[in-house]
């Protein structure tokens, strides 16, 4: 009986470890996705600012030529 309980306990431990590792992988995957999203958002904001700056400089150049 003790041996059977030990095997059952081990099986539950492995199953728990598998679930725990899967949860950690999901957390890592979600964290990576979050950081990728933050980078993309920051890059998009930077590029939008550069486009606006270039547009204003282009307008200023056009006005000076007239």
Would you say residue 56 has pLDDT above 90?
yes
Terminal Cα-to-Cα distance of the chain (whole angstroms) = 97
Q: Is residue 21 part of a domain?
A: yes
Find the helix or strand (DSSP H, E) in which 62 lies: helix 2-65
Q: Is residue 7 part of a domain?
A: no
Q: Is residue 5 part of a domain?
A: no
Q: In whole angstroms, what is the distance from residue 22 CA to residue 16 CA? A: 10
Q: Is residue 22 part of a domain?
A: yes
Q: Is residue 50 part of a domain?
A: yes
Q: What is the structure's pLDDT at 15?
A: 58
Structural domain containing residue 43: 15-61
Q: Is the pTM of this model over 0.75?
A: no
Q: Is residue 36 part of a domain?
A: yes
Q: What is the structure's pLDDT at 27?
A: 75
Q: Is residue 25 part of a domain?
A: yes
Would you say residue 47 has pLDDT above 50?
yes
For tokens 């431990």, name the residue. Answer: 13
1-32 pLDDT, tens digit per residue, is: 444 445 444 445 555 556 666 677 777 777 78
Task: Work out how many domains the chain is built from and give that number.
Answer: 1
């Amino acid at each position: 009986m003790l041996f059977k309980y030990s095997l059952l306990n081990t099986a539950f431990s492995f199953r728990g470890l598998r679930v725990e590792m899967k949860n950690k992988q999901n957390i890592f995957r979600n964290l990576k996705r979050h950081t990728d999203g933050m980078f993309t958002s920051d890059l998009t904001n930077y590029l939008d600012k550069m486009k606006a700056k270039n547009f204003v400089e282009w307008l200023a150049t056009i006005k000076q030529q007239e």
